[in-house]
Amino acid sequence: MKIKSFDVYILDLPTIRPHQLAMHTIVSQTIVVGCVTDEEGNEGWSEVATIGGASYGESTPEAIKANIDTYIAPLVIGKDPIHFDKIMYEVSKQVRGNNFAKTVVEAAIVDLAARSKGVPAYELFGGQIHTSLPIAWTLASGKTETDIEEAKEFLHQKRHNIFKLKIGKGDPFKNVEHVRKIKEAVGDQARITVDVNQAWDEDTANYCIAALEDGGVSMVEQPLPTWNYEGMARLTSRFKVPIMADEAANSVQEVFQIAKHRAGNSIALKPCKAGGLTQTKKVASIAEAAGLGLYGGTMIESSLGTAICAHLYATIPEMKFGTEIFGPLLFKDNITVNEMQYENFEVVIPNGPGFGMEIDREKVKHYARKL
């Protein structure tokens, strides 16, 4: 049962509201979907999401598709999908970087391999430890009272008790005050975290983190630019509140350097950053060995990409900071027949086979770009 073909689609999915980051505001989310087919016609599906074209990183959706079609897909044709780790090792020797593209390819092959065995994908990564995981939600109206009302409503619904605020855009001091008021309003009912998306310099970070720590915020994500390892190390040493590395924590090598120099004391995992599920497990192992807390991050994937993340995160012993794989809740529509489930402040890990999601071909066709 060998791989016969690999197809890639770029889709644009509408969101229920704008989702604001420091570098981009999402009003329509672009995802890249992969479909691998074997000689018997069996399929495996995958997804990665991108943010704002080139505004978040170097992997644009157009580049992901072009590099898979031209350079990676030819390397996997004729291979046995059950040997996905060997396949991706061989790909890595001929294709440098392109971690998002590699993730699309590996995840689709994993889905196919797991389906061929009739097992959930998490069984191929050591087995399931968690049946569900804590799930955060991003408060993003920009209005303090509106965000407080939304947080209280989700607490009442038992949907979320971890809330993140993106505070990298606009006046940092006003943003900090906005966060402190929300924390004061929800009290001990919820954890509040912030994501700066690299927007501060070290002087701003020193002032703002002190105020956030005093206000009861439980984690500060990527306050400084990715290159500033020394600054991140100083912040980590100075403050009690955990400092999380996200955009700076991609490859196995980068996470090793963060651990070595303590340029953060927690890590945001995302399969697309590391170049696939196998590499993300290695990243998690380095963090665990160094005593760094782990967080299941998101690129705002739809239901398929979220299930992929969920299956992997379910195999990691301790996700100290929970997850934020809320993407499906932000979309007006999804590309799978079944939906991700959220209950009792947690995301439920879907059962297999594969990643446990059934693709809706008509939705893929409807939202796919006509290239």
pTM of the predicted protein model: 0.95
Range 306-328 average pLDDT: 97
Give the active site residue among 65, 166, 183, 270. 166
Do 170 and 214 lie in a common domain? yes
131 shares a domain with 62: no
What is the three-class DSSP state of 185?
helix
- Tens digits of per-residue pLDDT, 215-245? 999 999 999 999 999 999 999 999 999 999 9
Supply the CATH number for residue 331's domain.
3.20.20.120
**180 and 323 share a domain?**
yes
Give yes or no: 166 in active site. yes
DSSP per-residue codes, 10-33: EEEEEEEEEEE-SS-EEEEEEEEE
In a domain, 183, yes or no: yes
Same domain for 34 and 137? no
Instruction: Give the strands of the sheet with 136-139, arranged side by side.
Output: 136-139, 162-166, 191-195, 219-221, 243-245, 266-269, 293-296
Burial class (CB within 10 angstroms; exposed 0-12, middle 13-18, buried 19+) of 110:
buried
The pLDDT of residue 57 is 64
Q: What is the pLDDT of residues 23-62, one digit of tens each?
A: 667 778 999 999 999 999 999 999 999 976 655 667 899 9
CATH number of residue 44's parent domain: 3.30.390.10
pLDDT of residue 53: 60
Is 354 contained in some domain? no
Contact indicator for 136, 163 with CB cutoff of 8 Å: yes
Domain that holds residue 143: 124-348
